[in-house]
Amino acid sequence: MSESPVELPTAEELAFESATLFASLAFGRLAEGSRDLEQARLAIDALKALVGVLPEERRQDLQSVVSNLQLAYASAAAAPE
């Protein structure tokens, strides 16, 4: 019996999946109950870096997510503690 080779994801697929994970992390860290602005900023920066290497058809949707996260970050940073 020979084992079939494991199909590895492409770099594009991994970058996209990682970007969605960073987006989720950033949104979670901006939520009131679990707010951590430093972690949110790092996740947003990582997301921005990944968006820059994605093909155009995937980049557009995630660029909107980056913009929304940046607005949410600014709002959270300006909010009184």
The confidence score (pLDDT) of residue 18 equals: 97
This prediction has a pTM of: 0.86
pLDDT tens for 47-59 read 999 999 999 988 9
Q: What one-character DSSP code corresponds to residue 9?
A: P
Q: List the pLDDT tens digit at each of the 81 positions of the chain.
A: 567 788 999 999 999 999 999 999 999 999 988 999 999 999 999 999 999 999 998 898 899 999 999 999 999 999 876
Asked if CATH classification 1.20.58 holds for the domain at 11-78, the reply, yes or no, is yes
Q: What's the burial of 27, exposed, middle or buried (CB within 10 Å: 0-12/13-18/19+)?
A: middle
52: DSSP letter = T
* Cα–Cα distances in angstroms (integers) from residue 49 to residues 2, 18, 28, 53, 74, in the given order: 40, 11, 19, 7, 19
Question: Could you tell me the residue ranges of all domains in the chain?
Answer: 11-78
